[in-house]
Structure 1
Amino acid sequence: MLVADDDEMVRDGFVAILSAQPDIEVVGSADDGVSALQEARAHRPDVVVMDVRMPRLDGIEATRRLLIEPGAPKILVVTTFEHDSYVYDALVAGAHGFLLKRSGAQQLVSAVRALARMDVVLFPESIRELVEARAKRDRHLPRLTEREQDVLRLLARGMTNAEIADELFLGVQTVKSHVTTLLAKLQVRDRTQAVIAAYESGFVD
């Protein structure tokens, strides 16, 4: 994984915490968005911990550029203020999860592990409220089956495929099939964008 943050103390702290985990390998670090792109392209990490506000290229644009490349990593955005307008922009750019910088070390480790191992969108309740507040409510969803609607609601709650399967008493492969169909119907590239569509249409609150 890769850590990108222009604050040296924060960056080194994240690297130290994550490097101490037996199942996590930190392959590089970066102090701005341009370096983050270069390091990510060189090392192909599974997860990038990305600060939002960085010089030369901010974390939002770095996220956007990384996610259009083949074999794109999962992006965990770290932010100081959960109500920062940048947070919503980062979600729209495709970030898979958010973490507040004041979160504890174990929360950081857990978030990285979750994104590396599972298909999930992670964001705290405070950020969920920001997304709801910023959503335009002018987007219209295509016709979805009742089961697809159930799956979309649970996606928006940040559930993994396995958790959705347990909730709906379905097989994991069946859930994966529903998710694939949902992405195609919504004309979005991933789960993050499906969650955005759900909020912007008013489908979920």
Structure 2
Amino acid sequence: MTGEQEMISVFVVDDHEVVRRGIASFLEFADGIAFVGEASDGREALDRLAVLSTQDQLPDVMLLDLRMPRLDGAETAAIVAERYPDVRTVILTSFSEIERVQTALANGASGYVLKDAAASEVEAAIRATQRDEVFIDAAVAGRLTKRLSGPGHGVGSLSARERDVLVLVGRGLSNRAIAERLAISERTARTHVSKLLTKLNLNTRTQAALVAVREGLVDADPE
């Protein structure tokens, strides 16, 4: 669509109909975002994605509840990341489920928001996925980053350039944006990200962003 904002399609997975209906309602009024489907658990969601894939109509983003029957959000996120790498997943969670959030993020989720978050926060999380950015709900980031403290997660093992890259990852920048900011190639930026993840014993960019927040290198709210 030349000159126009590309529509972001969103699929909602939650075992509570009132949550699905609420999200669908506010998405109707979000500029450039379209609600395109729903499912009551991970198993049903995967079944529907399989059909949508054959029709070349996969959603851009899935909002996933963590606690669901048959197949929960963390397991669903892992399967979606493997089968449909172009589909981004954002976890819907509550404070009581914080221990399971890290697993979901390690399984490929692009971020997380609280179920009682303002509509603007959910919208921000959806848009962040399309910019290859990390969205971290500031209200629970502190609790999650504490789980990343311990041996192997120290930033002291990083080179000066890797530390610079970690800061930019923490701010939600993509590899391309990091390359532009540091005047290096995108391939070099990707290599730096890979090396710092290895040194910090981490699996995902989101975990690296959380470390950056914990160490005070960036604010909890991404740019």
Q: TM-score scaled by structure 2?
A: 0.73
- Aligned-residue sequence identity (percent) comes to 32
Match of 2:141 in 1: 128
Match of 2:42 in 1: 33
Residue 177 of structure 1, CA deviation: 3.6
Distance 2:51 2:198 in 1: 30
Unaligned runs of 5+ in 2: 1-9, 53-57, 217-223
Distance 1:192 1:124 in 2: 19
8 Å contact 1:46–1:74 — kept in the other structure? yes
Deviations 1:165-186, CA, capped at 9 Å, x for gaps? 78xx545xx3744431134434
Q: Secondary structure at the match of 1:26?
A: strand
Task: Give the partner amino acid of 1:180.
Answer: R
Deviations 1:92-130, CA, capped at 9 Å, x for gaps? 2221111111111122222212212x0111112333212
Q: Secondary structure at the match of 1:49?
A: strand
Identify if the C-alpha distance between structure 1 residues 84 and 108 changes in structure 2 by more than 3 Å, giving closer, same or farther.
same
8 Å contact 1:76–1:97 — kept in the other structure? yes
Match of 2:205 in 1: 194
Deviations 1:25-74, CA, capped at 9 Å, x for gaps? 22210100101222233331111111100110000000011111243311
8 Å contact 1:50–1:75 — kept in the other structure? yes
Q: Secondary structure at the match of 2:38?
A: strand
Identify if the C-alpha distance between structure 1 residues 125 and 200 changes in structure 2 by more than 3 Å, giving closer, same or farther.
closer
Task: Give the partner amino acid of 1:110.
Answer: A
Identify if the C-alpha distance between structure 1 residues 94 and 84 changes in structure 2 by more than 3 Å, giving closer, same or farther.
same
Aligned residues: 198
8 Å contact 1:153–1:204 — kept in the other structure? no
Identify if the C-alpha distance between structure 1 residues 175 and 198 changes in structure 2 by more than 3 Å, giving closer, same or farther.
farther
Distance 1:182 1:70 in 2: 26
Q: TM-score scaled by structure 1?
A: 0.79
**C-alpha root-mean-square deviation of aligned residues, in Å?**
3.3
Equivalent residues in 2 for 1:1-205, closer than 5 Å: 1-43=10-52, 44-81=58-95, 84-116=98-130, 118-135=131-148, 137-139=150-152, 145-160=159-174, 169-171=181-183, 174=184, 176-185=186-195, 186=197, 193-196=204-207, 204=215
Q: Which moved more, 1:72-81 or 1:34-43?
A: 34-43
Residue 144 of structure 1, CA deviation: 5.1
Identify if the C-alpha distance between structure 1 residues 87 and 157 changes in structure 2 by more than 3 Å, giving closer, same or farther.
same
Identify if the C-alpha distance between structure 1 residues 180 and 47 changes in structure 2 by more than 3 Å, giving closer, same or farther.
same
8 Å contact 2:171–2:209 — kept in the other structure? no
Unaligned runs of 5+ in 1: none
8 Å contact 2:135–2:172 — kept in the other structure? yes
Task: Give the partner amino acid of 1:81.
Answer: F
Identify if the C-alpha distance between structure 1 residues 198 and 19 changes in structure 2 by more than 3 Å, giving closer, same or farther.
closer
Q: Secondary structure at the match of 2:30?
A: coil
Distance 1:53 1:139 in 2: 30
Q: Secondary structure at the match of 1:25?
A: strand
Distance 2:170 2:65 in 1: 23
8 Å contact 2:113–2:122 — kept in the other structure? yes
8 Å contact 1:4–1:49 — kept in the other structure? yes
